[in-house]
Chains A and B, each alone.
Chain A
Amino acid sequence: GAVVSQHPSRVICKSGTSVKIECRSLDFQATTMFWYRQFPKQSLMLMATSNEGSKATYEQGVEKDKFLINHASLTLSTLTVTSAHPEDSSFYICSASPRLRGRQLNTEAFFGQGTRLTVV
């Protein structure tokens, strides 16, 4: 099946620094990718929609200047957590779906393996 790769899988950074997380679709092109955040024992919460070649769309309550998203190509989206604080510590997950082709009506979403961010 299709593969979405996230890097790094785990990162520890100091307060005030920035961290970049990459999300790559390895064997398909994705015009849209999604970024989620998951706190311990909780469900995934959508943060933003990353659109190739245009600005990302952020969910209510998510600061666009803090969580910078760049979708530079059809296979790569990056999330940069700027000026990280301990409360930004979380599990960040991206997802992408292959383009629909022909008469195809639906597709499944493929998720990256997630990035565990710890801000100390």
Chain B
Amino acid sequence: LAKTTQPISMDSYEGQEVNITCSHNNIATNDYITWYQQFPSQGPRFIIQGYKTKVTNEVASLFIPADRKSSTLSLPRVSLSDTAVYYCLVGDNTGRRALTFGSGTRLQVQP
């Protein structure tokens, strides 16, 4: 399984755009990139998933360069409620294999 590396923590202020980059140098051809958000004492929650280029949904954008060795989660105009741990995961996402969680990025949004 491809290993991921992301910053341990980040700080931001309300209303700012936050970009969290994840490295996954040995990503496989059939691997997808998925980001999850976790609040304290809750299970992870799906944010966004992509394979290449750019994906956007109502909460975030995911940028994936052509070599797919990294990806960037972009959160527009964060609020205090976006304070959480964000995990970047790489896998085939068939549902038959467990996800391997790295250390995640602890985002702290200040007022």
How many Å lie between the Cα of A112 and that of B36 in the bound state? Answer: 13
User: Closest residue to A34 on the B side, CB-wise?
Assistant: B98
Residues of chain B within 8 A of A111, CB atoms compared: 36, 43-45
A114 pairs with B41, CB closer than 8 A: yes
Question: Is A107 a contact partner of B43 (Cβ separation < 8 A)?
Answer: no
A44: chain B residues within 8 A (beta carbon): 44, 101
State how many angstroms separate the Cβ of B71 from the closest Cβ of chain A: 15
Which residue of the partner chain B has the closest CB to A46? B98
B92 located at the interface, meaning its Cβ lies under 8 Å from any Cβ of chain A in the complex: yes
CB distance from A108 to the nearest CB of B (A): 5
- The segment out of A12-20, A66-74, A79-87, A94-102 that lies at the interface is A94-102
Question: Do the beta carbons of A113 and B49 come within 8 Å of each other?
Answer: no
Provide the A1-41 mask, 1 if CB < 8 A to any CB of B, else 0.
10010100000000000000000000000101010100000
Question: Across the interface, which residues of A come within 8 angstroms of B49, CB to CB?
Answer: 106, 108
Report the minimal beta-carbon distance from A34 to chain B, rounded to whole angstroms: 5
Q: Check A43 against B104 for contact (C-beta < 8 Å).
A: yes
- Tell me which of A30, A93, A98, A108 contacts B43 (CB under 8 A): A93
Contact B41 A43 (CB under 8 A): no
List residues 32-49 of chain B with CB under 8 A from any CB of chain A. Answer: 32, 34, 36, 41-46, 49
Chain A proximity mask over B75-109: 1 for CB below 8 Å, otherwise 0: 00000000000010000111110111111100000
Scoring A32, A44, A100, A113 by chain B CB atoms within 10 A of each residue's CB, the highest score goes to: A44
Check A43–B87 contact: CB distance below 8 A. yes
Q: How far is the CB of B90 from chain A (nearest CB, A)?
A: 12
Instruction: Tell me, in angstroms, the Cα distance from A34 to B101 when the chains sit together.
Output: 13
Q: Are the CB atoms of B42 and A113 closer together than 8 Å?
A: yes
Which residues of the partner chain A approach B43 to less than 8 Å between Cβ atoms? Answer: 4, 6, 93, 95, 111-114
